[in-house]
Amino acid sequence: MIKAKSLYHLVLYSILFIIVLISFFTFIIINNAHDELQEKIFTLKTDYTNNQKDLIKNDVNSAIKFISYYHEKYKDIKPTKRIQEEILLALEKLRVNDNINEYLFIYDFNGKSVYHPIEKTKVGENLIALKDVNGKKVIEELIIISKESNGGYVDYVWYKPDISENAKKTSYSNSYDQWNWSIGKGVYLDKINKLVLTKKDEYNQKISDFTLQIISLTIMLVLYSIFIYKNATILILNDVKEIGRYFKESQKNDEPLNQNRIIFGEFKVIANYATDAMNNIKLKSHMLEDLNKNLEYKVDEKTKELTKLIESQKTFIKNSVHEINTPLSIIQTNIDLLKMKVPENKYITHIESGAKIIQYIYDDLSYLIKKDRVVYKKEYLNLSTILFHRLDFFAEIAKSNSLYFVSNIQEDIYIKFNLTEFQRVIDNNLSNAIKYSYAKSPIFVRLDYINDDEVEFSVTTHSKRIEYQNKIFDDFYREDSARGGFGLGLRIVKEICDKNSVIIKLESNEKETKFTYRFKINENITA
């Protein structure tokens, strides 16, 4: 650590410190400016590239829409060959830009050139093996990626006529499957280099301005330091010596501060503030100690009360669930016996519906109690069979509410999932569908494969629009409190879906509400 032996040394060290500090900040400023330049260059390249990609994608998709429209309009009137010729002629006439670097091209899925306004001599040739300077089979990759659902982009290097050299290029390709056509358009990306050079020139000018400003500031600070030393240090030194003598004398006795020996009014004000502050600090320290002791006691008492209340609630729920099971089993058994004697009776139907509602609530409460203590292992389930069984379970409840199910369930759908958790997802959705559907309306239940990896389960109802869709999966939230329930069902569904990577989609309008769940067939996450 540097020690100043005099004010002269202090000023000298201050000047050196200023120079070092300014040098440090200069480095930071230049480094930040460089980082900012790199970030702007990256953003510029990204925005430019994305913008160009969007433009060529829109052009290609517009052309495909035109081809589809024209084909559909005349396919029953003109032969396909004639329609194709007219479309190609129309595409040629629609070229509003004579730039040789911007054009649409068409290849069939075998690689034969169908349309190329620049290289017309190669139309009819098979160019599937054509490569760029890096060996990439450009035409083949464009055809392959065009067969995807939304097409795609291919990056490569291609000869650019106006600069007579190779340049980076990206092309978007999509397909018109009815004719096995791959339709694409490309754009060169070399213009971005000019924009980058412009940004670099701006950066260099900015650094030059920074450097000049910093040098000027350094000179001014050095001159100011010298001025302070020459004109102010003598007066300050005298007052410091006087204050030093006072502190030496005050150390020998406990007498209060004698402000008459302090010349500058600023120091007198500081002395008054310091005295008041010390007194207040001592007073408030004692008050704070007492307050903390009292607060700790109250927090401890309230914590004990809250802990006891939570434990009592848990015990109550556990006991309630346990006690419900036995009478519920008796009720269901006697309902089955009664139905054997009286097969069709609306009162028995209502009783059975109420019992099943209690059973469904019991299952939810049982799951809530066990979910943090039980490991729900996965196994391969036949979702179709499980869903049919649950529809049978809820059929009486739906019937007593003047509702009915319309199912579209593909058979033998298997996924890896836990049976209890899947049943909670189904039961809560069917229960809510019954609870909120308009009377005498159908409840549509669907289960089918989406692709080789995913299965989709959906429940659609004719009901009121859900106003607060972002809250529908919250704890204890009910869109319509008059309908009853605890508001926990969809929260349970959300927890199960999040834990098992199930995608939830909610669509609700004035006519219908639809809950859709997309399951991974082989989602390998331990529940």
Task: State the DSSP code for 452.
Answer: S
**Residue 202 — pLDDT band, cuts 50, 70, 90?**
confident
Residues in the chain, total: 527
Write down the pLDDT at residue 173: 94
Q: Which residues contact 436 (CB under 8 A, 6 or more apart)?
A: 461, 463, 464, 479, 480, 483, 513
Tens digit of pLDDT for each residue in 104-162?
A: 899 999 999 999 888 888 888 998 988 888 999 999 999 999 999 889 999 998 888 77
> Domains in the chain and their CATH numbers?
44-189 (3.30.450.20), 375-520 (3.30.565.10)
> With b meaning 16 or more CB within 10 Å and e meaning fewer, what string describes 222-237?
eeebeeebeeebeeee
Rg (CA), the chain: 40
Tokens read off for 26: 């200069």
Residue with tokens 């004698």: 258
pLDDT, average across residues 88-115: 83
Q: Residue 389: exposed, middle, or buried by beta-carbon count in 10 A (0-12, 13-18, 19+)?
A: exposed
**Residue 527 — pLDDT band, cuts 50, 70, 90?**
very low
pLDDT, average across residues 460-488: 71
| CA 403 vs CA 200, 346, 394, 400, 424: distances in Å | 71, 14, 11, 7, 21
Tens digit of pLDDT for each residue in 387-438?
A: 998 898 888 888 888 899 999 999 999 999 988 888 889 988 998 898 889 9
**Residue 359 — pLDDT band, cuts 50, 70, 90?**
low
pTM (two decimals) = 0.38
Q: Do residues 170 and 187 lie in contact, with contact meaning Cβ atoms separated by under 8 Å?
A: yes
pLDDT, average across residues 163-168: 82
**Residue 365 — pLDDT band, cuts 50, 70, 90?**
low
Q: Which amino acid is at 176?
A: Y
CA–CA separation, 164 and 326 (whole Å):
88
